[in-house]
Structure 1
Amino acid sequence: MLREWAHKHHISTRIQPYGIPVDVPEAASHVDVPEGESLAFGQSVGAYSNVQDYRVVATGAHVSGRPVVSDECCAFSGSVWGSTAGAGTDASNLQAVYRGFAGGVNQVVWHGFPYLSRGPAGAGPQSAWPGMTYGGNTSYSEAFGDKGGPNWADYRAVNDSLARMQLVLRQGKPRFDLAVYWQDFGMNGTGTTGSGSNKLIQSTSALASSGYTYEYLSPALLRRKDASFSRGALFGDRSAYHAVLLNDQKTMPVDAAEKLLRLARQGLPVVIVGDVPGTVPGNGDTARQDARLKSAVSELLKQRGVVRVASEADAPDALRRLNVTPAATPHDGSGAILDVRRQAGSTDYYYLYNQTNTATAQKVTLTGEGVPYRLDTWTGKITPISGYTSGHGTVTVPVRLAANDAAFIAVTPRHDATFTGRPQAARPPGGQSTAAVPPPVKLDEWSLSVDSWGPGPSGRPGDTAHKTLGPVTVKAGEGGALPAWSAITKANGYPVDLADVSGVGTYTANVALDDGWKGIDSAALDLGTPVDTVRVNVNGHDLPPLNQADLRHVQVGRYLRPGNNTITVRVASTLLNAVRAAPGTGASSRSPMDYGLFGPAVLTPSGGDRPVLTAEALEPELPLADGGYNRANVLVTNASGRAANVTVTASAAEGSAPSRSGAAWRCPPGAR
Structure 2
Amino acid sequence: MTLDDFRREIADPAIDFRPELRWWLAEGLHSDATLRREIEDAHRLGFGGMEFLAMDEGAIDHARYGWGSEEWVHDSQIVVEETTRRGMSVSFTSGTNWSNANLPTIDPDQRAAAQELDVVHETLAAGRSRTGALPRIDLEAPIAETTLPGHRGTITQQHLVAVVAARVAGAGLLDAASVVDLTAQVEGDALDWTAPGEGEWRLFAYWMHGTGQTASPSASVNYTVNYLDRDGVDAVIAYWDDVVLTPALRAEVARNPRAQMYMDSLELSTYGAGGMFWGFTLAEEFRTRRGYDIVPWLPFLTRDAPFMAVSTVYHHQPADDADRTTVEKVRFDYVRTLTDLYIENMLRPFAAFLHEVGMTLRAEISYGLPFELTRPGPEVDGIETESLEFGAQIDAYRLMAGPAHLFGKQYSSETGATTRNHMLDHRFYDQIIATQLAAGITKTVLHGWASPAGAEGVTQWPGHEGMWPMFSERFDTRQPGSEFYPLWTAAIGRLQYALRRGRPRIDVGILRTDHFTDNLIGMALIGPNGERIPDEVAYGTMWMRDRENHWWQDLGMQDAGITYEFFDGSLLLRDDVSFDGDEVQPDGPGYRALVVYQSTLDADVAAHLLAWTERGLRLVIVDGARELDSLMARRFRTHEAAASATPGLDGRDDELAAIMTRLRRMPRVRVTGPSGVVAALDDLRAGGRARFDGDDRNVLTHLRQNDGLTVLYAYHFLYETTEPTTVRVRLAGTGVAHRLDVWTGELRPHRGARRNGEHTLVELTLAPGEVAVVVLDTTTDAADTAAPAVTEVARADRWRLVVESRDAGEPEVLTEDRGLGYVTREVRPTTAVTRLDAGETELAPWSRIPAVGPEVSGVGEYTTTISVPEARPGVRHLLDLGSTCGGLGSVRVGDGPARGFDTAHPVVDVSGDIRPGDNLITVRVSSSLNNRLRARGYYERVPDIGAQLTGEERTQQAIVREYGLVGPVRLLRED
Answer whether TM exceeds 0.5 for this pair.
yes
Distance apart, 1:455 and its partner CA: 1.0
Matched, 1:571 2:925: yes
Change over 3 Å in CA distance of 1:370–1:424 after alignment to 2 = closer
Other-structure match for 1:398: 763
**Pairing 1:230-629 to 2, within 5 Å after superposition:** 230-247=580-597, 249-274=598-623, 275-285=641-651, 289-309=652-672, 311-357=673-719, 358=721, 359-414=724-779, 441-458=794-811, 461-475=828-842, 482-489=843-850, 496-512=851-867, 521-531=875-885, 532-542=887-897, 544-551=899-906, 553-556=907-910, 559-560=913-914, 563-582=917-936, 586=941, 590-604=958-972, 606-607=973-974
- The whole-number CA distance in structure 1 between the counterparts of 2:884 and 2:523 is 35
Amino acid in structure 2 at the alignment position of 1:470: D
1:223 to 553, 562, 573: 573
Q: Percent identity?
A: 29
Amino acid in structure 1 at the alignment position of 2:418: F
Structure 1 SS opposite 2:481: helix
Other-structure match for 2:452: 117
**Pairing 1:85-234 to 2, within 5 Å after superposition:** 85-86=426-427, 92-114=428-450, 116-123=451-458, 127-137=459-469, 139-146=470-477, 148-190=478-520, 200-202=551-553, 205-234=555-584
Q: Deviations over 1:469-509 (max 9, x none)?
A: 1142212xxxxxx32111122xxxxxx34321112111122
1:75 to 411, 417, 436: 417
- The whole-number CA distance in structure 2 between the counterparts of 1:112 and 1:444 is 37
- The whole-number CA distance in structure 2 between the counterparts of 1:76 and 1:53 is 16
Change over 3 Å in CA distance of 1:576–1:364 after alignment to 2 = same
Distance apart, 1:7 and its partner CA: 1.6
Change over 3 Å in CA distance of 1:192–1:237 after alignment to 2 = farther
Change over 3 Å in CA distance of 1:216–1:519 after alignment to 2 = closer
Amino acid in structure 1 at the alignment position of 2:830: D
**Pairing 1:14-93 to 2, within 5 Å after superposition:** 14-17=362-365, 18-42=367-391, 49-66=392-409, 68-78=410-420, 80-86=421-427, 92-93=428-429
Amino acid in structure 1 at the alignment position of 2:453: R
Structure 2 SS opposite 1:280: coil
Change over 3 Å in CA distance of 1:512–1:392 after alignment to 2 = closer
- The whole-number CA distance in structure 2 between the counterparts of 1:381 and 1:142 is 31
Contact 1:176 1:213 in 2 (8 A): yes
Structure 1 SS opposite 2:833: strand
Q: Which moved more, 1:254-263 or 1:16-25?
A: 16-25
Change over 3 Å in CA distance of 1:521–1:262 after alignment to 2 = closer
- The whole-number CA distance in structure 2 between the counterparts of 1:178 and 1:523 is 41
TM-score, normalised by the number of residues in structure 2: 0.53
Contact 1:34 1:70 in 2 (8 A): yes
Q: Deviations over 1:375-417 (max 9, x none)?
A: 22211111222342123432111212221221211222347xx
Distance apart, 1:321 and its partner CA: 0.7
Distance apart, 1:547 and its partner CA: 2.9
Distance apart, 1:451 and its partner CA: 1.4
- The whole-number CA distance in structure 1 between the counterparts of 2:882 and 2:600 is 51
Unmatched tracts of structure 1, length 5 or more: 43-48, 87-91, 416-420, 430-436, 476-481, 490-495, 608-638, 640-672
Change over 3 Å in CA distance of 1:511–1:314 after alignment to 2 = same
Change over 3 Å in CA distance of 1:301–1:521 after alignment to 2 = closer
Structure 1 SS opposite 2:448: coil
Distance apart, 1:205 and its partner CA: 0.7
Amino acid in structure 2 at the alignment position of 1:525: L
Amino acid in structure 2 at the alignment position of 1:337: V
Other-structure match for 1:626: none
Distance apart, 1:568 and its partner CA: 2.0
Other-structure match for 2:67: none
Change over 3 Å in CA distance of 1:303–1:590 after alignment to 2 = same
Structure 1 SS opposite 2:681: helix
Structure 1 SS opposite 2:682: helix
Contact 1:55 1:215 in 2 (8 A): yes
Contact 2:753 2:785 in 1 (8 A): no
Contact 2:752 2:762 in 1 (8 A): yes
Change over 3 Å in CA distance of 1:303–1:439 after alignment to 2 = closer
Amino acid in structure 1 at the alignment position of 2:837: G
Contact 2:423 2:930 in 1 (8 A): yes
Amino acid in structure 2 at the alignment position of 1:281: P
Structure with a larger share of its residues in helix: 2
Q: Deviations over 1:436-456 (max 9, x none)?
A: x98654322111111111111
- The whole-number CA distance in structure 2 between the counterparts of 1:71 and 1:406 is 19
Distance apart, 1:522 and its partner CA: 3.7
TM-score, normalised by the number of residues in structure 1: 0.76
Q: Which moved more, 1:456-465 or 1:357-366?
A: 456-465
Distance apart, 1:16 and its partner CA: 0.6
Amino acid in structure 1 at the alignment position of 2:352: E
Other-structure match for 1:2: 350
Unmatched tracts of structure 2, length 5 or more: 1-348, 525-548, 624-640, 813-826, 943-955
Please say which structure displays the higher CA radius of gyration: 2
- The whole-number CA distance in structure 2 between the counterparts of 1:96 and 1:502 is 23
Contact 2:412 2:445 in 1 (8 A): yes
Distance apart, 1:226 and its partner CA: 3.5
Structure 1 SS opposite 2:490: helix
Change over 3 Å in CA distance of 1:453–1:423 after alignment to 2 = farther
The aligned length equals 553
Aligned Cα RMSD in Å? 3.0
Change over 3 Å in CA distance of 1:578–1:517 after alignment to 2 = same
Distance apart, 1:54 and its partner CA: 1.3
